[in-house]
């Protein structure tokens, strides 16, 4: 009697908020944020690399995972447009 191995790591639903709009992405705790960033940018119709992502006031790096940051199911991640430049003439 053989059973399929259970997925021991349950998936998390992450709520990403940008400009009052919310999307939910379902990921494994060990998924690198690079993939999550790409999904969010596509869903919000933004170019790759235009967002910065913040969880509880801390900027998320692309190599972080939800497990690294102790993110739990239905936690909120804020998305902001990256501000570049700003120099004075």
Q: Confirm whether 66 is domain-assigned.
A: no
Q: Confirm whether 67 is domain-assigned.
A: no
Instruction: For residue 46, give its domain range.
Output: 31-57
- What's residue 82's pLDDT? 80
Question: Which residue did the predictor score with more confidence, 54 or 6?
Answer: 54
Q: Helical H runs in the chain? A: 33-43
- What's residue 10's pLDDT? 82
**Residues whose CB falls within 8 Å of the CB of residue 6, separated by 6 or more in sequence, listed in order:** none
Do residues 77 and 18 touch, judged by C-beta distance below 8 A? no
Q: How many domains does the chain have?
A: 1
Q: Please write the tens of the pLDDT for every residue from 19-70.
A: 999 999 999 999 999 999 999 999 999 998 889 999 999 999 999 999 999 9
Whole-number Å distance between alpha carbons of 22 and 24: 7
Q: Phi and psi (nearest 5°) for 39?
A: -65, -45
Q: Confirm whether 47 is domain-assigned.
A: yes
Matching residue, tokens 């995972």: 65
Q: Confirm whether 40 is domain-assigned.
A: yes
- What's residue 83's pLDDT? 72
Q: Confirm whether 51 is domain-assigned.
A: yes
Of 63, 80, 73, nearest to 26 by C-alpha is 73
């Amino acid at each position: 009697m053989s059973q399929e191995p259970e997925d021991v790591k349950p998936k998390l639903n992450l709520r990403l908020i940008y400009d009052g709009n919310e999307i939910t992405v379902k990921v494994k705790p060990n998924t690198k944020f690079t993939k999550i960033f790409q999904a969010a940018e596509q869903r919000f119709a933004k170019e790759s690399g235009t967002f910065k992502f913040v969880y509880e006031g801390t900027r998320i790096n692309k190599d972080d995972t939800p497990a690294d940051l102790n993110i739990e199911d239905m936690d909120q991640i804020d998305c902001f447009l990256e501000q570049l430049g700003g120099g004075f003439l």
